[in-house]
A and B are shown apart, each in its own frame.
Chain A
Amino acid sequence: MPIVRRTKTKMPVLPSEERRDSWEEVALGYTPAQAMAEALRCLQCQDPVCEQGCPVNVPICEFIADVAAGDFGAAVTALKRKNLLPAICGRVCPQEHQCELLCVINGKQEPVAIGHLERFAADWERSHGLDAATAPAARRPEKVAIVGSGPAGLTVAYDLALLGYGVTVYEALHTLGGVLAYGIPAFRLPKSLLAEDIARLEALGVEFQTNVVVGKTVTIDQLLDEMGYGAIFIGTGAGTPRFLGVPGENLKGVYSANEFLTRVNLMHAYEFPRFDTPVHHGSSMAVIGAGDTAMDAVRTAIRLGAKEAHIVYRRTEAEMGARAEEYHHASEEGAIFDWLTQPLGFVGDADGWVRGMRCLRMELGEPDESGRRRPVPVEGSEFLIPVDTVVIALGTNPNPLLPQTTWGLETDAAGCVVADPETGATTREGLFAGGDIVTGAATVILAMGAGRKAAGAMHVYLQGKQATADAACEAETAKP
């Protein structure tokens, strides 16, 4: 009998000293032996509560049993019944807040490394060339349009293509993938993985059109009335950056995380001058915020050559939004964490470059409406952090471009598209929405979950509107 460990089987990673100038993926994945050892830590619960923590209801127990038995092909088949993009989710899902949080052994010992196992199974399938998806023999006549090629849009495309619909995905940028392409850096999600997933969708007959800004290049009315789409999914994400609204925020060297990461990931600024888009990177950089995007930005700054790269956050480690793994990797790579620090404004030099950040020390007070202890300023604690580049990673708001140019599409006070959480149906018939454009900035997996529900509802909408009406009518007449 193998000895079952109380801690997760560690995933091999690139040594931290090798990461500072490498854009290669940091986490290297389990070997088959490591995966099987980790899978044996799963108790195979009769009632696997971990699965309730998964927004797409992956059959966690089943796929882990397959991994434990060494039947990796069966594991992938099980995974893919619920999640068509497991290689991505295995890498970017906040498992410690979802499935692993609910794992029954969690607390007594470390939970089963469900995310690592998902990634292992997906990578095993890829490396064995077994991940080709087959399009259904029967194609349906109806066409659907998907706006945005991020995680929500790709999920809808997948599900509807498998059902035989003609699917066109419209993307505003020149590269597909949405936040998976412009936002998440290659050292966390290699771009080849995304390209392979997109190639599989193309093999299923999904058509991709880049450089089309729906709402501008074509309108929703044109798609519905003239271009013959029977239904449309809106997955345009939360792409509008938030700023602090403090003095000096428009100095040179102050970026939104979106801009900083887009320059690097989408436009390859780290390869300037081979690529034409530059990015300013100094020796002392500060990233404001402590979510996954902030960790991505600080680790990017380190790779660009910053001597000092700070995370500046007004609360503490306990309240930060980042995945444990990203925080851990950022620490290993030398990020400096300035907890309980609130930026008040930025100070510039005569040429308009940011040179410093005025900050206030904070302490934790009573819990606020989010349940987290509210940071309150320590009087007279103002101090200056010398910086020459700042990245503001305080989250994003829904992109207003499409709602602004589409009639009948209701949005709430925050600018989020109003959609039924179970179906994605919006206030306009034939239009469905999901992901960050509905929820505000959230996670890849929640967007995929919303996409899956919307795809199901779009199928019902397209096929069954009349049938449902008939059935309802019959049920009505059948009543005594």
Chain B
Amino acid sequence: MARIVLKRDLTPVTKLFEVEAPLIARNAEPGQFVMIRVSEYGERVPVTISDFDRAAGTITIVVQQVGKTTAMICAQEEGGSFLDFVGPLGRPAPLPAHGHVALVGGGFGAGAINTLARELRCRGVRVAAIVGARTRELLILEEEVGAHSDAYYACTDDGSYGYSGFVTGKLEELIESGAGFTSCYAIGPMAMMRAVAETTRPHGLKTLASLDPIMVDGTGMCGACRVTIDGELRFSCVDGPFLDAHKVDFDELVIRSKMYHDEETAASRACAAVEG
């Protein structure tokens, strides 16, 4: 059981939780994730660690409601607990000691780049954060990510705020204008990470994506999260989650991620019917 010490509504569908987990907080590094299960009947799902506070013994996560399980996570209240909260899992993101890094976050990914930005700044690395959302109301953690970055660029698909267009448009613009990025990290929806990979590929800009395929145990046991990297089999949970975005077989990953599409749709509908 991990107690929720703080809950913040970032948007109507995106929640931030600060969770009491001293052991995890002590060993956590940027880029790792936790597995969460909210009820005896629930699934185990991976959630990226957005921040950790070793002194306070807390882990921060940002969860966007996309299906039944994420809806159940988002429904947990401050003072309540997550039944199972396991981590820190995966390898820490391999971060450079110097250079100029582009951090690209879409949707909930803005939360996830927060801890990378902080760590990079600590190391003296220059950080440009490019954060996107469909519309202004869905942009999250501007203040926090902005504070941990040398440059912060908000992007909205509908042009309601900041750069008008996708994060990849802004990224391309910055690369073209000679930002001199030495590496790029992408966290967010799979389509966004793939688009980031295609944007940086022609520029030869080293890009790592935080892959989040379906997982069951999250400790290398089930193989559900297997991905093909340059023709080789890798498990996202123990070899990743940050893997070379130019070498990921995204076609396969996208298809595999939809394996339970029908079951998920039915479960979300049933869930909505109960609530409605």
Contact = CB atoms under 8 A, between A and B. Distances in A.
Question: Which of A216, A219, A243, A276 counts the most chain B CB atoms within 10 A?
Answer: A276
Contact of B216 (A245, A262, A400): A262
Interface residues of A, number: 41
Given A213-B219, A259-B224, 12 more contacts: A217-B23, A217-B88, A218-B23, A240-B223, A252-B255, A252-B258, A258-B221, A258-B222, A273-B263, A352-B252, A352-B255, A400-B220
A259 B219 contact: no
B263 A278 contact: yes
A392 B117 CA distance: 41
A462 interface: no
Contacts of A267: 43-44, 216
Contacts of A276: 41-43, 68-69, 267
26 contacts: A174-B84, A210-B84, A211-B85, A212-B86, A213-B219, A218-B27, A219-B27, A239-B221, A240-B221, A240-B223, A243-B233, A245-B233, A250-B226, A256-B223, A256-B224, A258-B221, A259-B223, A267-B44, A272-B263, A275-B41, A276-B41, A276-B68, A277-B43, A280-B260, A399-B220, A399-B221
B251 to A, nearest CB: 9
A101 interface: no
A239 B86 CA distance: 18
A351 B83 CA distance: 36
A277 B216 contact: yes
Q: What DSSP secondary structure best describes chain B's contact surface?
A: mixed
Contacts of B217: 172-173, 182, 262
A401 B224 CA distance: 17
Interface of A: 172-174, 182, 210-213, 216-219, 239-241, 243, 245, 250, 252-253, 255-256, 258-259, 262-263, 267-268, 272-278, 280, 351-352, 399-401
B191 interface: no
A17 B158 CA distance: 60
Contacts of B259: 252-253, 280
B66 to A, nearest CB: 14
Interface in B180-233: 216-217, 219-224, 226, 228, 233
- Interface residue tally of chain B, by bracket? 35 or more
Contacts of A239: 219-221
B43 A217 contact: no
A278 B216 CA distance: 11
A174 B39 CA distance: 11
Contacts of A212: 23, 86
A401 B89 CA distance: 10
A240 B224 CA distance: 11
Contact of A250 (B23, B86, B252): B252
A283 to B, nearest CB: 16
Contacts of B89: 213, 216
Contacts of B272: none
Contacts of B226: 243, 250
Contacts of B87: 213, 216-217
Contacts of A245: 233
A241 B221 contact: yes
Contacts of A273: 263, 266-267, 270
B26 to A, nearest CB: 8
Contacts of B222: 241, 256, 258-259, 262
